[in-house]
Amino acid sequence: MEIKKVFVVGAGLMGSGISQVCATAGYDVTMRDINDEAVARGMKEIEKSLGRFVKKEKISEADAKAAAARVTGTTEMAAAADADLVVEAVFEKLELKQDVFGQLDEIARPECILATNTSAISITSIAAATKRPDKVAGTHFFSPVPMMRLCELIRGLLTSDETMKAVEDWAVSLGKETVLVQKDVAGFIANRVGLAMFGVAISLVEAGVASPQDIDKAMKLGFAHRMGPCETADLTGIDVLTNAMKAIYNETQDERHWPPELMLRMVTAGLLGRKTGKGFYDYSSGEQVAYWTV
The answer to whether residues 68 and 177 belong to one domain is: yes
The answer to whether residues 130 and 196 belong to one domain is: no
The answer to whether residues 128 and 245 belong to one domain is: no
Residue 290 covered by a domain: no
The answer to whether residues 118 and 171 belong to one domain is: yes
70 alpha carbon, distance to own chain's centre = 21
Confidence check: pLDDT of 149 > 80: yes
The answer to whether residues 105 and 134 belong to one domain is: yes
What's the CATH code of the domain at 135? 3.40.50.720
Give the pLDDT score at 143: 87
The pTM for the full model equals: 0.89
Give the pLDDT score at 293: 81
- The answer to whether 226 touches 238, Cβ cutoff 8 Å, is no
In angstroms, the CA 161 to CA 150 distance is 21
pLDDT in tens, 204-224: 999 999 999 999 999 999 999
Give the pLDDT score at 73: 98
| Residues known to be catalytic | 119, 140, 152, 191
Q: Which amino acid is at 175?
A: G
61 alpha carbon, distance to own chain's centre = 27
Give the pLDDT score at 238: 95
Q: Which domain holds residue 149?
A: 5-181
Confidence check: pLDDT of 64 > 90: yes
Tally of CB atoms within 10 A around 282: 16
Sign, CA torsion 117/84/7/124: negative
Q: What percent of the chain has pLDDT over 70?
A: 100
Of 152, 181, 210, the one marking the end of a domain is 181
The answer to whether residues 229 and 261 belong to one domain is: yes
Give the pLDDT score at 294: 77
Confidence check: pLDDT of 1 > 80: no
For the chain, how many structural domains are there in total?
Answer: 2
Residue 294 covered by a domain: no
DSSP string for residues in 16-40: HHHHHHHHHTT-EEEEE-SSHHHHH
Mean pLDDT value across residues 142-164: 96
Give the pLDDT score at 179: 97
The answer to whether residues 205 and 157 belong to one domain is: no
The answer to whether residues 219 and 85 belong to one domain is: no
Q: What percent of the chain has pLDDT over 90?
A: 94
Write the CB contacts of 168 (distance below 8 Å, at least 6 apart in sequence).
153, 178, 180
Give the pLDDT score at 2: 87
Give the pLDDT score at 16: 98
The answer to whether residues 161 and 242 belong to one domain is: no
- Smallest CA-to-CA distance from 6 within 110, 123, 87 is with 87
- Smallest CA-to-CA distance from 146 within 53, 232, 8, 42 is with 53
In angstroms, the CA 214 to CA 232 distance is 14
pLDDT in tens, 15-36: 999 999 999 999 999 999 999 9
Give the H/E segment covering residue 229.
Answer: helix 229-236
Residue 288 covered by a domain: no
Write the CB contacts of 115 (distance below 8 Å, at least 6 apart in sequence).
85, 86, 87, 88, 136, 137, 138, 139, 167
